[in-house]
């Protein structure tokens, strides 16, 4: 194990971020690189406890605990402490195809289940993960690994998000010929066109895609399966198909004024901005927040990404409306360790908004009731009312407006960031398939499904897990083993 007394000697520290004042002026990543001594000390805090929960990835009382892909966390913490970085990288890649993504964007459920967290601050697991793989690339240890033998079987993976890429990687490693079809012009799914550059630099996504291509995976972009290419054609060309099309139907807000100009889904805004940054052709992003009052409806992570993007566009003000109550400051008795702690957090967007405008942009328990619209049909504001959550006879909670709390927010740009209701139905329809949460197969034996498309809107780490498991199921089908 690491240093037996490490958790008592060293305080938890996370990798430093650039100051809010500096970083809002550009689109570069938030984090600064960490030095080796810092990382070794943080690794030394891992006490290699008898029963580590950090890597379990199990559901307990309906809540996930630990790392969903069962990363061998105590092992690589120890190896980092010992200075054995290359060995740490090998252990990390055993369970995680893309640690450079999770090490940057994962909310780190592992840290919520860390045993040191029972009595103090958990080990800085996520930052160590990112440092191991970044070092692997910097040292040239990560090179294309071609399969020793090809199986002669071919698989189409539809969708190139983390689920599709993990699935393709696993199937390619065991020798199947894999083609990934993507309707966008770039590979990566939400890694490329959802999560903003400040959290995940697109060079890292492209670097991994280039590596996978060098290992033999074929990528076909600008092709929508079920539209540009018929699904029967796909089935005719491949021995199996794995659908990893994401959960992309956004939740709408059908209140009066919804049709006004200036109201957009968060993904239209974020996607357009990333394309603008990558292409460098347009002088302005397709939707700009410059000099506008911005209201973002939805207090979650996508909303936070919109806050940070609007700030970089030079918005005049930004508010984030959340219908749910503010979470508690500390764990409640109903949310014990080692569950993921459901507590109040401030993310990078809120920190930046507080720096620029002097307040956290989130207003909690606010229900939007109407969009205000001018004569030209453009949005001018959002009317909202404070709610309180009351339990019905059947035990379910619902929001009840509080009389006299009606308020109006100025807005020339409104972004809807209220999550996603599920996958677009047409791809499944064109293949005439249905599936359940019981496994990765579908009603057609040669078709599999994984990622957000199967489990609903989730996290990158869960998508990687899904892709790996669907690959196993698909490989068993192809080889009969
Ligand atoms: C704005 C935003 C920020 C997020 N930030 C984080 C974060 O910080 N950390 C985190 O862990 N998770 C985050 N998430 C969630 C995470 O990105 C997703 O859970 C994850 O990307 C799902 O992976 P996936 O492969 O299942 O689907 P996706 O990443 O959605 O990829 C699906 C791909 O399939 C393609 N596709 C769909 N239909 C077809 C078709 N018929 N033919 C060809 N291609 C098709 C789509 O174009 C897309 O590229 C965020 C999500 C959003 C929206
Ligand atoms: S993938 Fe996420 S949960 Fe797993 S070790 Fe990394 S940060 Fe923790």
Return the closest-CA partner of residue 74 out of 19, 13, 129.
Answer: 129
Task: Please report how many Cα atoms fall inside a 13 Å half-sphere around the Cα of residue 175, on the Cβ side.
Answer: 9
Residues composing the chain: 481
Residue 431 has a pLDDT of: 86
Measured at the alpha carbon of residue 46, what is the angle toward residues 468 and 9, in degrees to the nearest 5? 160
Work out which ligand 2 atom sits closest to the CA atom of 69. Answer: 4
252-418 belongs to which homologous superfamily? FAD/NAD(P)-binding domain (3.50.50.60)
Ligand 1 probe mutation, 227, 268, 460, 465, most atoms within 8 A of CB: 460
Residue ranges of the chain whose pLDDT lies below 70: 1-2, 281-282
Closest Cα to atom 39, ligand 1: which residue? Answer: 245
At residue 8, what are phi and psi to the nearest 5 degrees?
A: -90, -30
Which residue stretches of 82-151 are H helix?
85-95, 99-105, 109-112, 116-119, 125-138
Ligand 1 probe mutation, 165, 195, 231, most atoms within 8 A of CB: 195
**What is the enclosing helix (H) or strand (E) of 289?**
none
The CB of 72 under 6 Å from ligand 2? The reply is no
The partner residues of 177 in beta bridges, in order of sequence, read 154
- Contact indicator for 475, 174 with CB cutoff of 8 Å: yes
Ligand 1 probe mutation, 71, 100, 246, most atoms within 8 A of CB: 246
Parse the chain into domains and list their residue ranges: 6-21+33-138, 154-248+421-479, 252-418
Q: Report the C-alpha gap between 371 and 401 in whole angstroms.
A: 17
Q: Give the tens place of pLDDT for each residue, 248-276.
A: 999 999 999 999 999 999 999 999 999 99
Return the closest-CA partner of residue 439 out of 447, 431, 428.
Answer: 447
Q: Give the tens place of pLDDT for each residue, 174-191.
A: 999 999 999 999 999 999
Residue 434 has a pLDDT of: 92
Residue with the two structure tokens 């399969």:
147
Distinct helix (H) and strand (E) counts, the chain: 19, 18
Return the closest-CA partner of residue 44 out of 19, 76, 90.
Answer: 76
Residue with the two structure tokens 């919109």:
306
Work out which ligand 2 atom sits closest to the CA atom of 129. Answer: 6
Contacts for 350-354: CB closer than 8 Å, 24+ residues apart: 350/304, 350/307, 350/320, 351/20, 352/20, 352/23, 352/24, 352/307, 352/308, 352/311, 353/307, 353/311, 353/318, 354/20
Closest Cα to atom 2, ligand 2: which residue? Answer: 108
> What Å distances lie between residue 113 and 6, 49, 110, 209, 304, CA to CA?
18, 12, 5, 32, 25
CATH number, span 6-21+33-138:
1.10.1060.10
The tokens describing 258, both together, are: 């919804």
Q: Report the C-alpha gap between 59 and 260 in whole angstroms.
A: 43
The CB of 459 under 6 Å from ligand 2? The reply is no
Work out which ligand 1 atom sits closest to the CA atom of 226. Answer: 41
Query: Are both 6-21+33-138 and 252-418 of the same fold?
Result: no
Work out which ligand 1 atom sits closest to the CA atom of 165. Answer: 25
- Contact indicator for 264, 415 with CB cutoff of 8 Å: yes
Q: Report the C-alpha gap between 69 and 92 in whole angstroms.
A: 11
**What is the average pLDDT score of the chain?**
95
Q: Which CATH number fits domain 154-248+421-479: 3.90.650.10, 3.50.50.60, 1.10.3720.10, 3.20.10.10?
A: 3.50.50.60
Q: Report the C-alpha gap between 67 and 53 in whole angstroms.
A: 9
Work out which ligand 1 atom sits closest to the CA atom of 305. Answer: 1
């Amino acid at each position: 194990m690491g240093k037996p007394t490490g958790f008592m000697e060293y305080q938890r520290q996370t990798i430093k971020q650039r100051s809010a004042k500096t970083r809002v002026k550009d689109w570069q990543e938030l984090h600064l690189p960490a030095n080796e001594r810092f990382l070794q000390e943080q690794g030394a805090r891992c006490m290699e406890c008898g029963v580590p929960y950090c890597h379990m990835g199990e559901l307990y009382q309906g809540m996930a605990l630990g790392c969903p892909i069962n990363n061998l966390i105590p092992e690589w913490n120890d190896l980092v402490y010992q200075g054995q970085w290359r060995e740490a990288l090998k252990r990390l890649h055993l369970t995680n195809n893309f640690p450079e993504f999770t090490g940057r964007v994962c909310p780190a459920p592992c840290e919520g289940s860390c045993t040191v967290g029972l009595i103090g601050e958990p080990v800085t697991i996520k930052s160590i993960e990112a440092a191991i793989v970044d070092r692997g690339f910097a040292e040239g240890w990560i090179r294309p690994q071609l399969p020793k033998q090809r199986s002669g079987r071919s698989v189409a993976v539809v969708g190139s998000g983390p689920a599709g890429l993990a699935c393709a990687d696993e199937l390619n490693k065991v020798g199947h010929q894999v083609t990934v079809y993507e309707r966008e012009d770039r590979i990566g799914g939400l890694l490329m066109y959802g999560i903003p550059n400040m959290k995940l630099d697109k060079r890292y996504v492209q670097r991994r895609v280039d590596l996978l291509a060098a290992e033999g995976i074929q990528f076909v972009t600008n092709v929508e399966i079920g539209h540009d290419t018929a699904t029967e054609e796909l089935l005719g060309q491949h021995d199996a198909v794995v659908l990893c099309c994401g959960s992309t139907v956004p939740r709408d807000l059908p209140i009066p004024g919804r049709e006004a100009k200036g109201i957009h889904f968060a993904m239209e805004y974020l996607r357009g901005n990333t394309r603008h940054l990558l292409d460098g052709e347009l002088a302005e992003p397709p939707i700009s927040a410059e000099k506008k009052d911005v209201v973002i409806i939805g207090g979650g992570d996508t909303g936070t990404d919109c806050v940070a993007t609007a700030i970089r566009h030079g918005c005049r003000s930004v508010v984030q409306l959340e219908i749910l109550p503010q979470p508690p400051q500390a764990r409640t008795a109903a949310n014990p360790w080692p569950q993921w702690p459901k507590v109040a957090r401030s993310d990078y967007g809120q920190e930046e908004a507080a720096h620029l405008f002097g307040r956290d942009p989130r207003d909690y328990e606010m229900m939007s009731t109407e969009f205000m619209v001018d004569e030209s049909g453009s949005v001018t504001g959002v009317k909202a009312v404070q709610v309180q959550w009351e339990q019905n006879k059947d035990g379910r909670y619902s929001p009840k407006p509080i009389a006299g709390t009606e308020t109006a927010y100025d807005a020339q740009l409104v972004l809807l960031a209220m999550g996603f209701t599920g996958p677009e139905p047409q791809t499944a329809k064109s293949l005439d398939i249905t599936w359940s949460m019981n496994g990765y197969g579908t009603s057609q034996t040669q078709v599999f499904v994984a990622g957000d498309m199967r489990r609903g809107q989730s996290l990158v780490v869960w998508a990687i897990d899904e892709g790996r498991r669907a690959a196993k199921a698909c490989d068993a089908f192809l080889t009969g083993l």
